[in-house]
Amino acid sequence: MPEHADLAIAPRFIRAVHIQRDFRNLRYRLDGYQATPLVRQAAGRIIAGLTPGSSERAFSVVEPFGSGKSAFGLFVAHFLQRGEAARRQLLGSLRIAESALLPIDAPSLLAVLVPGNNSSLRQAVLASLGAALAEPRLKTPALTQLRRTLEAAARDPALDPGRVAELVAEAAQLLQAHGHYQGVLVLIDELGQFLDYAARQDEERDLFVLQSLAETAARSGEAPVLVVTILHQAFE
C-alpha cells in the first residue's frame, strides 16, 4: 500500500460508544461490527431469557476497558427492538447466519438505554424509560400518562427503588397491550459510574434499585422485562 494512501475507518471506531446517542444515530449503527462466536453465544444466552416460563432475565456483562462491551450492548438492543424482517436484515448486514442462538421470532422489546453518568441510577432509569416511550408510534393515552408519572417520580429525591421497578413493569404491560412491543429491555451501560455516585452520596437506594429491577425481571412473565448491566473490569 502506498505510504500516502488514505485509510477508511468506520466512524464508530473513532471514539468510545455512547449507548444512547449511537443507538439513535444511523451513521454509527453497528457498521463493521464483528459478531464473533462469543458475541453470538452471549447474546443468545440473554435472548433465551425470553422463552416462556424463564425467570433468568437479569444479566451482567463484566469485561476490561476496550473489549467491546458497549458495542455488544448496541447489537443486543438493535436485535431485540426490531421485528422479524428487520432482524433478518440486521443479521444479513453483519453476515451472521440465522441460528437457534439468535431466534428471529423472539419477542420485540422497547430498548431503554441508560448511559453511565455520575448521577442517581433510580432517576436515570426513569429518565431513559420516558425518553424511549417518546417514540411517536407509542403516543397512546395510557403511555402518555405513564410518561407524566415517570417525570414526576424522577424529581423525587426519596424515590423508592421498588417504585422504579414497578414503573418499568407497568411500561412492559402497557407496551404489550399496545401491540408494537411485547416488553422492555433495560440496558445500563458503564454501571460503575452510578455505583461511584451512590458510594459518594452514601445512597443505598441507588444500589437496591438493581436488586428491585432483577426481581421484577424474574417475575415479569408474559410481559417480559430484561435487565442487562455493563461494568468495566479494573486492570490487574
pLDDT of residue 168: 98
Is 207 contained in some domain?
yes
Is 6 contained in some domain?
no
Q: Is 24 exposed, middle or buried, given 0-12, 13-18 or 19+ CB atoms closer than 10 A?
A: exposed
pLDDT of residue 14: 47
pLDDT of residue 106: 95
Is 33 contained in some domain?
yes
User: Beta strands of the chain (E only): which ranges?
Assistant: 58-64, 109-114, 183-188, 225-233
Is 5 contained in some domain?
no
Question: Can you give the pTM of this predicted structure?
Answer: 0.88
CB 117 within 8 A of CB 145: no
The grid coordinates listed for 114 are 441508560
Rg (CA), the chain: 18
How many alpha carbons lie under 13 Å from residue 10 in its C-beta half-sphere? 13
Is 89 contained in some domain?
yes
pLDDT of residue 16: 64
Is 68 contained in some domain?
yes
Three-state secondary-structure class, residue 183:
strand
CATH code of 38's domain: 3.40.50
Residues in the chain where the model's pLDDT stays below 70: 1-16, 25-29, 31, 64-67, 233-236
DSSP for residue 194: H
Give the Cβ contact number of residue 93 at 10 Å: 12
Is 178 contained in some domain?
yes
| Enclosing domain of residue 223 | 15-233
Is 44 contained in some domain?
yes
Number of structural domains found in the chain: 1
pLDDT of residue 28: 54
d(CA 106, CA 87): 10
